[in-house]
Chains A and B, each alone.
Chain A
Amino acid sequence: MPSVISISKLAKHYQVPEREAGLKAAAKGLFKRTYKTVKAVDGISFEIQPGEVVGFLGPNGAGKTTTLKMLSGLLHPTSGGASVLDYEPAKRPHDYLRQITLVMGNRNQLSWDLPALDSFDLQRAIYGIPTEDFKRTRDEFIELLDLKELVQKPVRNLSLGERMKMEIVGALLHKPKILFLDEPTLGLDVTMQKRIRTFVAEYNKRYGATVLLTSHYMADVEALCKRVIVIHHGQLLFDGDLAALVEKFSAFKTVGFTLDNPATDLSQYGDVVSIDGSRVTMRVPKEKASAVTSRLLNDLAVDDLTVEAAPIEDVIESVFSVKKEAME
């Protein structure tokens, strides 16, 4: 199947003026400026198939948002190529913009002073959506996100989570084929995050849309993405299945069990992460997990023993540290 997103050696470099602190340096800077090249994105390549939901992960400043901005046509790449739906995003053809959306968790496009319904109607005019289609889609999304009671209130009177749900409706009314979601659940409580995740999953299922998602909430990634792309310092570190990432980079497993006497010295089995009443959670090297659990069962009176993969946050952290060492 041909890919819908294809980028090859994509790079975005910035020339950033820099000088030392102080008046003398400021005066010197008037005559001679020095610049530093910041490689926000440094030659990354990947392809995404139609209908895929891909997690795009990396720490702050890794180059995730810059990549999304290049793919949505906001930024011109310094070098390399990008093709989305067979369009060159940097040229920003209107037919292309009609088929994509970029949702940024900290940005808004709705009027603060008017009910969201008015902003939705403006979106209809902007995207030239036929009125009947528009009404059907709008009502469908309102129902999916349970917004019926809220759409007539001025946006300024809504909570952050409610506003974000409205933003997502506004951004999807034209039924884009490609969704670039940049921290869509930023700052939301757990319930609201879950609601938005469910909605994105449902949209992907109903319309076969392709989603490229950045999030610092690993629950988003685990719930939505089978595949993840990890970047750091503008360079691609990993591209593959989330399960493979966990398998490859998870050095530890989490072993949990209930113990009558949690005061027992457990250091010979692994690192104790927490003790909650009689419930003990330990971190054990992956290759020793089987042996340790056998020993625990033989040596101690343990119940309810569970062995789980390390939290995805820890896995990602170990990707960064392993690759950092490899790069240094």
Chain B
Amino acid sequence: MKRYFDYYTSMMKFSVMEQWQYPVANYFYMIGMLAEPVIYMVVWSAVANQQGGTVGGYTPGSLAAYYIVWTLVRQMNIAFTPYGWEWRIRQGRLSMSLLRPIHPLHEDVAFFAGWKVVMIILWIPLALALSLIFKPDLHPTLLEGVVFFVAIWMAYLIRTITLSLLGMVTFWTTRVSALFELYFAAELILSGRLVPLSLMPEAVQKAAWFFPFRWAFGYPIEVLVGNMPTNDLFIGLGMQFAWVFFGVVVVSQIWKVAIRRFSAVGG
């Protein structure tokens, strides 16, 4: 356990140092990612205003809060994509990772966790600017704040696990991008990324419970802005833990089969 702690802190430190080499590039990357939530926010605020000030219970202020928190959650749940898996296999990077006495997924989790430290620091001024422009209606309680803090890290783990499962398809075919596009479409609809799930048809809301997307995206946002009953806060955390546990079991089983197929095509 001590060794893993040392590894995680060292890798996170390493990642922070690497990312600070390119703060401007990281900033531009983040600004590029803001376009998506800002468009959603403007559109839904206009809809709310046209409908007398609310849409599905959301006011322009609460929509602003939703999408500003969205930007933080989005930074938090960035994980190694299947494109990255393709890249690292072709470049021979996975071979290098496999030679180390530590599972490559630990490397992914630790590296991106360190990256997030940099991204959150860079995110703060942007969030302040968005708040000044869109005036979010956000009043979280201490409990919501604490649950949110846990939930965003769990969301990160769930998304890492699901994307790793997709990434491992590269052991069977080196063209996994098509599957990722499918994943992305499902995530858009079932996660609360496109629109708060409460504005979706009831069937979609029910379906969202049974997929990992909501727990990796919409749930942490709802914790902070949705005025959820305390019971629901903890049910959500329970769902996140369950997905992480289930995901780790599935990943480890598939990994055992997948690694036998590894042909080290990239070196």
Q: Given contacts A74-B262, A97-B99, is CB(A122)–CB(B14) below 8 Å? A: yes
What 5 pairs across the A-B complex have the smallest Cβ distances?
A125-B10, A94-B101, A97-B101, A113-B21, A125-B7
Q: B59-67, B90-98, B154-162: which one contacts chain A?
A: B90-98
**Cα distance A152–B14 in the bound complex, in angstroms:** 15
Size bin of chain B's contact surface: 20 to 34
CB under 8 Å from chain B, chain A span 158-212: none
**Cα distance A108–B97 in the bound complex, in angstroms:** 11
**Cα distance A252–B154 in the bound complex, in angstroms:** 71
User: A126, B14: Cβ atoms under 8 Å?
Assistant: no
User: B99, A111: Cβ atoms under 8 Å?
Assistant: no
User: A118, B101: Cβ atoms under 8 Å?
Assistant: no
Report chain B residues within 8 Å CB of A106.
92, 267
Question: Is B263 interfacial (CB 8 A cutoff)?
Answer: yes
Chain A nearest CB from B58 CB (Å) reads 43
Report chain B residues within 8 Å CB of A104.
92, 95, 267
Chain B nearest CB from A71 CB (Å) reads 11
Nearest-CB residue, chain B, relative to A115 = B17
User: A127, B101: Cβ atoms under 8 Å?
Assistant: yes
10 A-B pairs with CB atoms under 8 Å apart are: A95-B101, A97-B100, A102-B99, A104-B267, A107-B92, A113-B22, A114-B17, A125-B7, A126-B100, A128-B6
User: A126, B7: Cβ atoms under 8 Å?
Assistant: yes
**Cα distance A94–B14 in the bound complex, in angstroms:** 22
Chain A nearest CB from B168 CB (Å) reads 16
**Cα distance A75–B14 in the bound complex, in angstroms:** 29
User: B18, A111: Cβ atoms under 8 Å?
Assistant: yes
Report chain B residues within 8 Å CB of A69.
95, 264
**Cα distance A114–B16 in the bound complex, in angstroms:** 11
Chain A nearest CB from B229 CB (Å) reads 43
Report chain B residues within 8 Å CB of A125.
6-7, 9-11
Question: Is A14 interfacial (CB 8 A cutoff)?
Answer: yes
Q: Given contacts A75-B264, A125-B6, is CB(A94)–CB(B102) below 8 Å? A: yes
**Cα distance A123–B47 in the bound complex, in angstroms:** 54
Question: Is A293 interfacial (CB 8 A cutoff)?
Answer: no
Question: Is A138 interfacial (CB 8 A cutoff)?
Answer: no
User: A111, B98: Cβ atoms under 8 Å?
Assistant: no
CB under 8 Å from chain B, chain A span 116-131: 118-119, 121-122, 124-128
Question: Is A92 interfacial (CB 8 A cutoff)?
Answer: yes
Report chain B residues within 8 Å CB of A95.
101
**Cα distance A111–B267 in the bound complex, in angstroms:** 18
Report chain A residues within 8 Å CB of B99.
72-74, 97, 100-102
User: B102, A109: Cβ atoms under 8 Å?
Assistant: no
Residues of A within 8 A of B (CB): 14, 69, 72-76, 92, 94-95, 97-98, 100-102, 104, 106-109, 111, 113-114, 118-119, 121-122, 124-128
Most buried by B among A94, A104, A126: A126
User: B14, A118: Cβ atoms under 8 Å?
Assistant: yes
Nearest-CB residue, chain B, relative to A156 = B21
Report chain B residues within 8 Å CB of A121.
10, 14
Nearest-CB residue, chain A, relative to B10 = A125
User: A107, B96: Cβ atoms under 8 Å?
Assistant: yes
Q: Given contacts A114-B21, A126-B102, is CB(A107)–CB(B7) below 8 Å? A: no
Contact for A92 among B3, B17, B96, B98, CB less than 8 A: B98
Given contact pairs A98-B101, A128-B3, a sample of 15 additional A-B residue pairs in the complex whose CB atoms are under 8 Å apart: A76-B260, A76-B262, A92-B259, A95-B101, A97-B101, A104-B92, A107-B92, A107-B267, A113-B22, A121-B14, A122-B10, A125-B7, A126-B100, A126-B101, A127-B100
Most buried by A among B9, B99, B259: B99
Binary A-proximity of B103-119 (CB < 8 A = 1, otherwise 0): 00000000000000000
CB under 8 Å from chain A, chain B span 161-181: none
Report chain A residues within 8 Å CB of B259.
92
Chain A nearest CB from B138 CB (Å) reads 37
**Cα distance A189–B17 in the bound complex, in angstroms:** 32
User: A124, B10: Cβ atoms under 8 Å?
Assistant: yes
Report chain B residues within 8 Å CB of A109.
96
Report chain A residues within 8 Å CB of B6.
125, 128
**Cα distance A124–B11 in the bound complex, in angstroms:** 11
**Cα distance A114–B13 in the bound complex, in angstroms:** 12
Q: Given contacts A109-B96, A122-B14, is CB(A74)–CB(B264) below 8 Å? A: yes
Chain A nearest CB from B170 CB (Å) reads 15
Report chain B residues within 8 Å CB of A72.
99
Chain A nearest CB from B189 CB (Å) reads 31
Report chain B residues within 8 Å CB of A14.
263
Nearest-CB residue, chain A, relative to B107 = A126
Report chain B residues within 8 Å CB of A73.
98-99
**Cα distance A102–B10 in the bound complex, in angstroms:** 23
Report chain A residues within 8 Å CB of B92.
104, 106-107
User: B98, A74: Cβ atoms under 8 Å?
Assistant: yes
**Cα distance A124–B259 in the bound complex, in angstroms:** 25
Chain A nearest CB from B10 CB (Å) reads 3
Report chain A residues within 8 Å CB of B22.
113
